[in-house]
C-alpha cells in the first residue's frame, strides 16, 4: 500500500497490524523508487483535518509539504504508477486528481485509459462523465455528491478547476 502522506502510512500500518496483517507493506511513494510489487494499492485520499489533532506540529508541516509534491511532482506520479507488476488499484477522487496540480493531465490520461479498459470504478460515474465532456464541474454538483468533504471557497472560479 502506498500513500503520499506519512500520517496516513502510520495509521494504515497500525490498522493492518491490529488485524494481524503486518506482512502487508505500507510506505510513502518517495521511499519505493526502484522496487516492484506484484500487487499495489495507491491511496491518493487526504487524511481528515481531525486526524491531525494528536500529531506533532512538524509532522503536520511535513504532511502539507508532501501534499504539494504529490499534486505537482511528475516523478512521484510516475514512480507510483509504475511499481506494480500485475495489479494496481488507485483510491482517490478522480475529478480532484484531474483538476489540481501539474500532474492533472497525467491523471486524466491514466483515468481515460482505465475507462477504455473498463477498469475504472467511481461512485458517481455520471458526474465524472459530465466532467469529461465539459472539463468544468460546478461546486453544486460536487457538493451534492461529496458535501461532507467540500468547504465553500471564496476564491474565484478558474478554468479546468472545480468551481
Per-residue pLDDT, averaged over 152-160, amounts to: 41
**DSSP of 74-103, one letter per residue?**
HHHHHHHHTSEEEEEEEES-HHHHHHSSTT
- Name, in order, each residue with C-beta under 8 angstroms of 88's C-beta and a sequence gap of 6 or more: 39, 40, 42, 81
Total residue length of the chain:
163
Assign residue 129 a region (left: φ > 0; alpha: ψ between -120 and 50; beta: otherwise).
Answer: alpha
Read off the pLDDT band of 154 (50, 70, 90).
very low
- Taking 80 as the threshold, does the pLDDT of residue 78 lie above it? yes
Q: Are 150 and 142 in contact (CB under 8 A)?
A: yes
- Taking 70 as the threshold, does the pLDDT of residue 63 lie above it? no
- Taking 90 as the threshold, does the pLDDT of residue 84 lie above it? yes
Per-residue pLDDT, averaged over 15-43, amounts to: 92
Per-residue pLDDT, averaged over 60-81, amounts to: 68
Largest CA distance in the chain: 48
Which among 68-72, 96-100, 149-153 has the top mean pLDDT? Answer: 96-100
Strand partners, 3: 28, 43
pTM of the model: 0.72
Q: Are 11 and 67 in contact (CB under 8 A)?
A: no
Read off the pLDDT band of 9 (50, 70, 90).
very high
- Name, in order, each residue with C-beta under 8 angstroms of 157's C-beta and a sequence gap of 6 or more: 163
User: CA Rg, the chain, in Å?
Assistant: 17
Q: Are 145 and 127 in contact (CB under 8 A)?
A: yes
Amino acid at each position: 500500500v502506498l500513500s503520499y502522506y506519512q500520517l496516513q502510512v502510520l495509521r494504515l500500518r497500525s490498522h493492518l497490524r491490529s488485524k494481524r496483517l503486518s506482512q502487508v507493506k505500507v510506505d510513502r511513494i518517495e521511499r519505493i523508487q526502484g522496487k516492484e510489487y506484484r500487487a499495489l494499492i495507491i491511496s491518493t485520499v487526504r487524511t481528515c483535518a481531525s486526524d491531525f489533532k494528536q500529531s506533532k506540529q512538524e509532522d503536520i508541516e511535513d504532511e502539507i509539504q508532501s501534499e504539494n509534491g504529490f499534486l505537482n511532482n511528475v516523478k512521484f506520479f510516475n514512480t507510483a504508477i509504475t511499481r506494480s507488476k500485475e495489479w494496481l488499484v488507485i483510491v482517490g477522487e478522480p475529478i480532484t486528481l484531474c483538476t489540481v496540480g501539474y500532474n492533472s493531465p497525467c491523471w486524466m490520461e491514466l483515468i481515460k485509459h482505465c475507462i477504455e479498459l473498463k477498469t475504472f470504478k467511481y461512485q458517481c460515474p455520471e458526474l465524472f462523465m459530465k466532467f469529461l465532456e465539459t472539463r468544468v464541474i460546478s461546486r453544486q454538483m460536487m457538493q451534492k455528491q461529496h458535501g461532507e468533504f467540500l468547504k465553500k471557497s471564496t476564491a474565484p472560479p478558474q478554468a479546468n478547476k472545480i468551481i
